Amino acid sequence: MKLTLSLWDIAGQERFEFFKTGFFSGVAAVGLVFDLSRPDTFDSIEEYFDDIRERSGNIPIILVGNKNDLKKDIGETFPREKIIQMVNQYSLFEYIETSALKSKNVNKLFYRLALTALLDFKPRLGEVIDSNHFRFKILLVGAAAVGKSSLIDSFVKNELEESYKLTLGLDFIIQDLEIEDEDIPKETHYLVKNSVKNYKKIIKKIRKKEETSMDTP
């Protein structure tokens, strides 16, 4: 199955708060990112979680601890139990530790975000390209300088740019991804098939109604 991911990175700076409202609409899955070397970025997760639930409803969220490569030098900055408690408390899909610098678990993260979007499939406008090709809007959110842009760069370009630039406002990029049929539960295949069928019926009715309106004097 082919998935086209629209990957969005929203700046974490407070002065770009006004960008958030519109760009949470139509989101299929979210990576909630914090920096494993900065405990303060973990403490801000609750605020971002509330934003997501308020503006996007009960969509899948994966908690992401980035900069795993720094742990060998600084050690554990807070107990893992605290992270697991956060996952359970907010019913997050799972927790993944990544390193954009070392490309550790980066492909796994976006693969899992795509898969969670598919598991939670409720066709929105523009998501169905054909019966075996879907487009999903994936968001990475979190405090400033946690590595959201770096994760996207590492996934799309298979490398990390040496010169780091803080995201101003928002960035997005399109990337295709293939998911093997055997990785998708049978129930999900059935759900997707029926969802696409119903979606096409609805679109057909809308178009027919529009054509009727245009023909009416």
Specify if 204 maps to a domain: no
**Domain CATH for 75:** 3.40.50.300
Question: What pLDDT is recorded for position 167?
Answer: 46
Specify if 154 maps to a domain: yes
Specify if 205 maps to a domain: no
Specify if 100 maps to a domain: yes
Question: What pLDDT is recorded for position 112?
Answer: 94
Name the token pair of 201.
Answer: 């019926």
Helix, strand, coil percentages, rounded to 5, for the chain: 45, 25, 30
Specify if 144 maps to a domain: yes
Question: What pLDDT is recorded for position 132?
Answer: 87
Specify if 195 maps to a domain: no
Question: What pLDDT is recorded for position 169?
Answer: 43
pTM strictly above 0.85: no
Specify if 197 maps to a domain: no
Task: Give the number of domains in the chain.
Answer: 1
Domain containing 152 equals 2-185
Q: Which segments of the chain have a pLDDT < 50? A: 13-16, 18, 166-169
Specify if 191 maps to a domain: no
Query: What's the DSSP call for residue 100?
Result: T
134: which residues sit within 8 A by CB, 6+ positions away?
1, 2, 3, 4, 118, 121, 127, 128, 192
First vs last Cα of the chain: how many Å apart?
A: 45
| Interval 154-204: pLDDT, tens | 998 876 655 555 444 456 789 999 988 888 888 888 878 887 787 677 767
| Interval 97-110: pLDDT, tens | 999 989 999 999 99
